[in-house]
Amino acid sequence: MKTMTKDCLICRTRTNHSILFYLLELNIVKCRNCGHKTLDKYPEPVEIKEVNTGMYQRLSKEYDFQKYKWAKESVDVYLKKIQPQVSRNSSLLDIGGGLGYYSKAFQEKGIKTTLIDLDIVSLEFAKTKQNIDEVFQGTTLDFLIKYPQRKFDIIFCRHVIEHIENPLLLIQDINMLLKSDGILILETDNSKSHEILLNYGTKKFYHNLYKEKFVNYSLTKLVFNPIFALDPPRHLHAFDIKNLKIFLINNGFKIKEAQSYSFGSKLWPNIPNTSFKQLLNSLKTFSKKSIKINTYNFFGGFIRYILNKYNRGAGIIIIAKKL
């Protein structure tokens, strides 16, 4: 396997990186020291910004009560994990919170919530439909420049860090925005997980995506070199629990909890597991496609359950305290 020498932002070393996949102009590389996967060079900032703004245009047309219900269930899990650190008077910053379903769920618990995002469409929805306490358009750096004295008890950063070209700058901003002993709730995809391949829909999506994007792609190669969910210019980084813990510790945080979670859990409910009843119902339809999908997902669910026991679930959640 070809290698290149590159600085790793995560483990702070200049070391060899294995070149896993080739794109037409970019390469997917893996740090041989910490296992972090990223690109050898990044798309232009304007291209990254275009991808990360306007993505919720369609979803902002009407209120989705199911999304809010899911967000409430997730927030119950978060608050249970950080008790007794949080109270009804706590302040929370939701970074990249999009349409604001999670912000609203936190706010309904009595937590004073501020949502920041680049996307004006999302912020307008969060302000008018969700009635979020405070919304701010811009980056964490923009917020720091405008409000240099503002500090929060909790920072919530759900599936954002993988979108940022330089996660080191983001985590430094988070450190400055947190109060002393403040809590960070950080989530992202788990690059060591094969769970995406054990759900028919996600497997089809990423298989087709990578086949189109990567010059040297094969499903076998992906099994042995999982990179989920790298997808430039949308997702620019792929972390695992080990290197994300190292990254946070190196930047002034103490890890309180770090684990993976699976599709169908309260932290990733929009990709549900297939039940035995659903499998039986599909058999009654005599639809080959329905039987194929439900059979694949039902038996894949058993393997996914086992994977999560060994921290190989599709998502990562880390609860960390600022030192």
Q: What is the pLDDT of residues 82-126, one digit of tens each?
A: 988 888 889 999 999 999 999 999 999 999 999 999 999 999 999
CATH 3.40.640.10 corresponds to the domain 73-191+242-270+312-322: no
Percent of the chain with pLDDT over 90: 82
Positions of the chain with pLDDT under 70: none
pLDDT at 125: 96
Name the token pair of 34. 């910490």
> Which residue intervals of the chain bear CATH 3.40.50.150?
73-191+242-270+312-322
Question: Do the Cβ atoms of 294 and 272 come closer than 8 Å?
Answer: no
pLDDT at 72: 97
pLDDT at 224: 93
pLDDT at 51: 82
Beta carbons within 8 Å of 96's beta carbon, 6+ residues apart: 116, 117, 118, 157, 158, 159, 160, 163
* Cα gap 60→62, rounded to integer Å: 6
DSSP annotation of 302 reads: H
At 9-57, the pLDDT tens digits run 999 999 999 999 998 778 999 999 999 999 999 988 888 878 877 777 8
pLDDT at 24: 75
pLDDT at 260: 97
pTM: 0.95
